[in-house]
Amino acid sequence: MDQSNPSSSRDQWYPHLSVQMQEHHLAPISGSIESHETAETAAWRELKEETTLTPRDIDLWRKGKPYTFSDPSVGRQWTVFPLLFRLKDSREGGRGEEGIQIDWEHESWEWYSPDTIQDDEKFGGVPRLKESLRRVWFESDMNERASKALTAGLAELKADHQSGSHELTSIALRAFRDVIAQLEEYIDTKWWETARMAAWHLWKNGRESMGAATLNAFLGLLADMEEIVHDILDRKIKLERLLALIDHHLDKRKDMPTRIKRSFASYLEGNFLPTAIAWPTPSLVILTFSASSTIRDSILEAFASLPIPNLDLRILESRPLCEGVNMASSILSTFQSRFPPSSDRHLKLTVYSDASAALASKGVDFVLLGSDRISDSGSVSNKTGSLPAILSARHVCPAAKVLVVSELEKVAEPGAESDHSHEENDPKELVGCWVDSGIKGVKILADGIEADRDNTNYAVEVKNIYFEWVPARLIDAYICEEGTLDVIAIQQKAQQVKEKADRYFDQL
């Protein structure tokens, strides 16, 4: 087993697709988490030390729900953080099985089917091996149709880099409905545990960096499902009611953007209009970025309701996927159909490069920020480029107000902002842009990225991080479906999220 960490009463280990022979027992790649590490950081370190595999060769495929157990034989309590990795083949730039080179801790390695793993002495595995595996290999807890539905839902969430949190949450709920429809077992305590674990996987293993909204949606849904699950009813009737309930929650989500639009219009009427109408040529000047259907519709609805003839809208392009360009196109199209040339409404639409944030900030009234997650401190995780844009606006135009326009469901449970997962995406998205633009020197840079670091004296990385944090001190107000909120209201919401998450997921 693993060596103890003398600085902690808990040691952690993690299963990996490649199962090893360690001290004559079948074991996964495992190790203790150092005080300065997260579970994922420690797992990557152990993988490199014990197999030489790196992110070039594998990617993190699934996380499992952590669990704790006591081992009386050594008088120790263990907390296990199961993580499942996928081995890349040569077409993906990996070394495949040739990259696996075990160290002194292991006698040999080979592949095992998850179905063969057992938690008993006769099998010869390390303690709780099957329990750890089932937490990342949910297929063992579900029938084939249900597990396929969950796998398909996770794949759709992982692959979608265009939709915002609101749309991704609806995708997660629809995937959950597909899973529930296929869970044919009797609806009892065990069924309820499996259903909650499916919801946990869709939250954690879909797009966790944008998962706060998904978590809140599931917590509200599970609270309503619980009463039906424990009713004394025929199974068929229970299932019909559960599916109808999920459909109701999906339909209810359609009203949320409308309520946010009203909140934004009310905010402008009370905090902007009294001053603006006194200007010789009243204008509403807004800077925003990325793509948010909520922000797009809120801007146009508010503009339509205000007695202000001119809208000066500036949008940053938001590389590498240029979502800001898509939003600008959508806004222009909607404006053209809604306000004919004969109307008294005028739009000045300007798309800026991300590097031009300071230039775009000159004279703005508002900087509108969407959110993928709001921490309990009120800080906001949003598209990379948000923080430079807001800092620029604060410097260039100190009077500008920074508003977060977002669903309240994006408030996350309490925790350090560094604890929230920030996905690092394929650097090829950036490199591909450079290649398409004909930038000189791209090939040598691309070759440097792929170089074997064990045989070179240099390292080349291209970072493609989608999200960054904007501190709460830079934000003036939060516009949501419940109106205009402050940081204290956000903190209260975060505590409510924690209490509900503990109720439905803590004992899984």
- How many other CB atoms are there within 10 angstroms of residue 252's CB atom? 11
Interacting residues of 422 by C-beta distance below 8 A, sequence separation 6+: 209, 381, 465, 466, 467, 468
At the fourth CATH level, which superfamily is domain 257-420+467-486?
A: Translation initiation factor eif-2b; domain 2 (3.40.50.10470)
In angstroms, the CA 273 to CA 264 distance is 12
Residue 426 to residues 134, 386, 462, 466: CA-CA distances in angstroms?
Answer: 29, 20, 9, 10
The one-digit pLDDT tens for each residue of the chain (508 residues) are: 232 333 333 333 333 434 444 456 788 888 889 888 888 999 999 999 999 999 889 999 999 999 998 878 778 888 999 999 999 988 888 888 888 888 887 788 888 888 888 888 788 788 888 888 999 998 888 999 999 999 999 999 999 887 878 889 999 999 999 999 999 888 999 999 999 999 999 999 998 877 889 999 999 999 999 999 999 889 999 999 999 999 999 999 988 999 999 999 999 999 999 988 888 888 999 999 988 888 999 999 999 999 999 999 999 999 888 899 999 999 999 999 999 999 989 999 999 999 999 999 999 999 999 998 899 999 999 989 999 999 999 999 999 999 999 999 999 988 756 665 566 778 888 888 888 888 888 888 888 887 777 788 888 888 888 889 999 999 999 999 999 999 999 999 999 999 999 999 998 8
- pLDDT for 420 equals 58
DSSP three-state, residue 406: coil
In angstroms, the CA 500 to CA 494 distance is 10
CATH 1.10.3470 given to domain 39-138 = no
- pLDDT for 6 equals 30
- pLDDT for 478 equals 97
DSSP 290: S
- How many other CB atoms are there within 10 angstroms of residue 375's CB atom? 25
Residue 353 to residues 201, 368, 387: CA-CA distances in angstroms?
Answer: 37, 17, 15
In angstroms, the CA 203 to CA 3 distance is 32
- How many other CB atoms are there within 10 angstroms of residue 92's CB atom? 13
Q: What is the pTM of this model?
A: 0.76
In angstroms, the CA 59 to CA 89 distance is 11
DSSP 506: T
Beta strand pairing status for 83-87 and 283-289? unpaired
Determine the straight-line distance between the first and last CA of the chain, rounded to whole angstroms: 25
Q: Quote the distance between the C-alpha of residue 72 and its chain's center.
A: 38
Tell me, what amino acid is at 84? L
Q: Are 211 and 204 in contact (CB under 8 A)?
A: yes
Rounded (5°) CA angle 435-439-443: 60
User: Is residue 291 within a helix (H) or strand (E), and if so which, with residue range?
Assistant: none
Tokens of 340: 């004919």
- pLDDT for 1 equals 24
In angstroms, the CA 464 to CA 467 distance is 9
- How many other CB atoms are there within 10 angstroms of residue 44's CB atom? 19
- pLDDT for 422 equals 62
- How many other CB atoms are there within 10 angstroms of residue 79's CB atom? 16
